[in-house]
Amino acid sequence: MMKLLRRHKDWLMIVIAILAIPFIFYFVRTPDYGAMKQGDLGQIYGRQLSQLEIDANARLGGLAQALGMSDFWETLSLRQPGNGGYGTFAVDLIILRHEAERLGLRPSGAEIADVVRKLPAFQGESGFDITKFSDFVRNGLGPMGLGEEHIEQLARDEICLNEIKELLGAGVTISKDELDENFRRGYDKFFVSVIRFRSTDFENDITIKDEDVQKYYDAHKSELKTDEKRKVEFVRLGLADEPAEYTNLPGPLSRPAYSSAFTDRFIQSLIAAYAATSSFVGSDVTAQLRNEQKTLTGTERIEALQKLADRATDFTQALLEKDADFRQAAAKFQLPVNETGEFTAAAPDSKLKADPQLSAAAFKLSAQEPNSDPVQVADGFYILHLVGVTETRPLTMEEAKPKIVDAIKKSRTRELMSSKGPELANQLREAAKSSAGSDLQAAIQKAGVKAEKLPPFSLFEEETTKSQDNETNQSKEPKSEQVSQGKEPKNEPPSQSKEPKNEPPDLPMIKQAVAFLNAGEISDFVPSAENGFIAILEKRELSDDPNAGEKKAAFEKKLLDNKQRIVLYEWLHDRQQAAGLGSRKG
């Protein structure tokens, strides 16, 4: 569609100019606001809920994320990823504002200003940075059709949400026994042995006959095909060596992917939580300009990218001319042409690994439309041209045989582990019922398996260390703001991870398996990728950490906050029902 518009842009402008005159007189009349009711999605509080209102609130959700209001966003979106999160946020924002009005919550101007000054997006080395605020308002809000007043609205909403959360949480308490039990479970030392089931150990027991291969081939013949391969040429218009810190500057606010999920089980949720240099193309740009572009930030960088966007548009416009040739057009614009080898969608060419959307764009090209629109990446634009396509074709029996054998092996291996794993776990539990520990060891030896002893660990050891590092860094200096401004931390090395070395990759799953076991108990068989394991909790020892008091206080605060959040979610659900929220039937 865009290419069609570019091809006929001249006469389109004439038509638009002619049509503009009568439309000027048409729109000075009183608007028919009744027509705006089209697109109603349902009802809320006895009125129509329109798509326009949902879209407007969804944009506020994107703004909240850009401002760093993570807790506010996560609460109203219920931590749902993607479009579902934006829709939930939009509806819950309506409910929040209605309930705040009903409860008489009216934050003062001073309270709102204080929240705005503390927003992460506006923080500099010494606190609130008016330059960042002004730059964000000028360059970040306009493309979304928002203004400064929308920041104030979100600040007001956050204050109201916190006050409601405080009111609801007034009756939430944690008993001493509950706190002690959960704290010990989190910080006690666990002594665990693991019996591992490796897929390679079962392969010798699997025999695959030619009849099995033929049967699989006949059943999956339509799926057994070669991968489509493509080969493309491309030109690149980009800034000089751009630091990675500048890929998230104020501009049209995007919707970052969000992939965390809320879980009611506090202990389980905490355990699960562990769970290319480029050059600027174009002879019209001098080396001095390339050096200056290395440090472009804010408005300067946006303007530089806009110039590249204009040049990329001019190039694609030239490709729309009759009998246009990609290489000739590139030569005219003094852009070097790069060529890839053949690649598949699953394994992109190394020259296209700058951004995943490049490979995706290559597979959208066709013989009728061989040239792509400009594809924007972090530091510039790519325009791709389709050179050739190797179509998929059905695999012959011999070609498909290695894939078939591998698929059958994996399937039968999973079946064997799924049957032998639980069977062995039950045998070990029976042996563990005996008071003599030798019975358990005898059962392990009889089964022909080996128990691997793991170094002692605590369930929350890693997370606590990381959070302490973050708090220390924040108390010393707001380094995150230095990074966002493109400055390197001075005289301080980057923070190092405190994660234990040489730990098994499935340690988070092992922790989940033994978290609620008592000493001497045995877990169920737990599948892990293509393998699996059974965990044996030998004993638990009390933590002798000298900082246990501080950790316990922080743990209590987190546990209390989690309970308050659950109450708040239940309140939101109840208020949704009270609002009469329902979708339109059609």
| pLDDT tens figures, 413-447 | 999 999 999 999 998 888 887 755 567 788 888 88
| Averaged confidence pLDDT in the chain | 78
Tens digits of per-residue pLDDT, 151-172?
999 999 999 999 998 888 888 8
Contacts of 143 (CB under 8 A, 6+ apart): 251, 252, 253
Give the pair of three-digit tokens for residue 368: 């009728």
Give the pLDDT confidence score for residue 240 in this predicted structure.
62
Whole-angstrom Cα distance, residue 245 to residue 237? Answer: 20
Tens digits of per-residue pLDDT, 482-538?
433 444 444 444 444 444 457 788 898 999 999 888 888 899 999 988 899 999 998
Is 542 in contact with 525 (CB distance < 8 Å)?
no
Of 66-75, 325-334, 436-445, which range is least confident?
436-445
Is 216 in contact with 408 (CB distance < 8 Å)?
yes
Of 6-20, 242-256, 341-355, 365-379, which range is least confident?
242-256
> For residue 360, which phi and psi values (nearest 5 degrees)?
-60, -40
Is 298 in contact with 488 (CB distance < 8 Å)?
no
> For residue 71, which phi and psi values (nearest 5 degrees)?
-65, -40
Packing angle, helices 82-103 and 548-578, rounded to 10? 80
- For the chain, what are the domain ranges? 40-170+566-583
Give the pair of three-digit tokens for residue 401: 């045989």
Give CB contacts under 8 A, 24+ apart, made by 153-158. Answer: 153/60, 154/60, 154/63, 154/64, 154/67, 154/69, 154/72, 155/107, 155/112, 155/115, 155/116, 155/119, 156/107, 156/112, 157/72, 157/93, 157/96, 157/97, 157/100, 158/69, 158/72, 158/115
DSSP code at position 193: E
Q: Shortest CA distance to 240 belongs to which of 202, 294, 193?
A: 294
